Amino acid sequence: MTTPRTQAARRTRIAEVLSGRSICSQEELRGILARDGFVVTQATLSRDLVDLGAVKLPNGDGRAVYTLPGEPGAPARPSLSGHPGTDAGTDVTRLVRAAHELVVSVDHSANIVVVRTPPGGAQYLASAFDRTQWPPIIGTVAGDDTVLLVTRGADAGAEVAAEILAMAEGRMPGGAEVP
């Protein structure tokens, strides 16, 4: 099997490594990735770990090791306010960062929300919405600079649009600032 040297392949390998062994430092992880053909800078690896939601937690030996969300002992990821049923495996932080960086405008009508981005940003933002599995959103359609969200309920668009606007202004669900 040949593995492409893409960001997605690299992040998949990082998740495999962190799930399979105790990794105490980024330098240790960089070495493993390099042996697998993924040569990365410390800054790139740090971004990958943040985007994967990895955190360092003490293990049974008293050492701090990287842990991914959903693994035993890992903290729960943030959930979307007002939506306690949000799956713990979602990536709300990624969505909030993407909205903060990409949303140019938000508008709605009944159960439809239209989000404008700079050219080329809509696919990434739509993917972030899809990954969160946000309960009021049935689905997304992305063009080059526009994301169309279809929401549940006749008037759900207004609530979803307001929450997206808050994310775009740099607020996490619950009012905290974007990290």
Same domain, 102 and 139: yes
Same domain, 129 and 163: yes
62 close to 22: Cβ distance less than 8 angstroms: no
Same domain, 104 and 140: yes
Same domain, 36 and 103: no
Residue of 122 and 86 predicted with greater confidence:
122
Q: Measured between alpha carbons, how far is residue 154 from residues 94, 109, 126, 157 in Å? A: 28, 9, 21, 8
Q: Measured between alpha carbons, how far is residue 27 from residues 24, 31, 45, 56, 170 in Å? A: 9, 6, 9, 14, 31
Number of folded domains in the chain? 2
The CATH number for 108's domain is 3.30.1360.40
pLDDT in tens, 52-75: 888 888 776 778 888 887 655 444
Q: Measured between alpha carbons, how far is residue 159 from residues 102, 111, 151 in Å? A: 19, 10, 10
pLDDT in tens, 146-168: 999 999 988 899 999 999 999 88
Within a domain: residue 80? Answer: no
Provide the residue range defining the domain that includes 131. 92-168
pTM of the model: 0.54
- Mean pLDDT in the chain? 82
pLDDT of res. 83 = 44
Same domain, 103 and 157: yes
Same domain, 58 and 116: no
